[in-house]
C-alpha cells in the first residue's frame, strides 16, 4: 500500500492545497477503502490541534485500488493537515485480517 499524491480537481494542481466542499483525487497502490473494521477510511489530522476528522463514507465518490475521488469535508477548518488512509484492501479480492494505514508525504492545506 502506498499513497502517491492528491490533486485538487478544479485546478489540476498536486501541491496539497484543497478547498472544502470541492473534489480531490488521491492516487496510490492498494488504497481502495475496503473491509468492515471501523478504523477503515480517510482521516484528515490537523497538524496544529491534532484533531482528526474522518471523511464520511458517502464523500468517497470513486473507490478504486489505485484512485480515490473524494469530496473534501466542509467540517475541516482552514489549516494544515496530514492525510492518512486505512484499509483492509490488498492484492486481488482477499481482504487483510487487520487494517493497515498509509500517510501521504505531502502536507495538506485547507483554504
pLDDT tens digits for range 8-50: 998 999 999 999 999 999 999 999 999 999 999 999 999 999 9
Reported as a single tens digit per residue, the pLDDT across 65-98 is: 999 999 999 889 999 999 999 999 988 888 999 9
Which cell is 10 given? 478544479
Residue-by-residue DSSP string for the chain:
-EEEEEEETTTTB-SSEE-TTSEEEEEEES----SS-TT-EEEEEETTT--EEEPPGGGEEEE-SSEEEEEPPTTPPSEEEEEEEEE---STTPPPSS-EEEE-SSPEEE-
Residues 6+ apart with CB under 8 A from 44: 52, 53, 55, 73, 76, 81, 82, 83, 108, 110
Total-model pTM: 0.93
- Residue 94: give the domain boundaries: 2-110
Confidence of residue 64 (pLDDT cuts 50, 70, 90): very high
CATH number, residue 73: 2.70.50.70
Q: How many independent structural domains does the chain possess? A: 1
Amino acid at each position: 500500500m502506498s499513497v502517491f499524491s492528491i490533486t485538487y480537481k478544479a485546478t489540476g494542481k498536486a501541491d496539497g492545497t484543497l478547498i472544502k466542499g470541492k473534489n480531490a483525487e488521491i492516487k496510490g497502490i492498494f488504497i481502495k477503502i475496503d473491509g468492515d473494521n471501523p478504523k477503515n477510511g480517510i482521516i484528515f489530522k490537523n497538524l496544529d490541534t491534532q484533531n482528526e476528522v474522518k471523511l464520511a463514507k458517502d464523500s468517497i465518490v470513486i473507490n478504486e485500488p489505485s484512485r480515490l475521488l473524494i469530496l473534501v469535508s466542509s467540517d475541516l477548518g482552514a489549516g494544515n493537515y496530514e492525510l492518512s488512509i486505512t484499509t483492509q484492501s490488498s492484492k486481488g479480492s482477499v481482504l487483510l485480517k487487520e487494517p493497515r494505514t498509509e500517510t501521504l508525504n505531502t502536507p495538506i492545506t485547507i483554504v
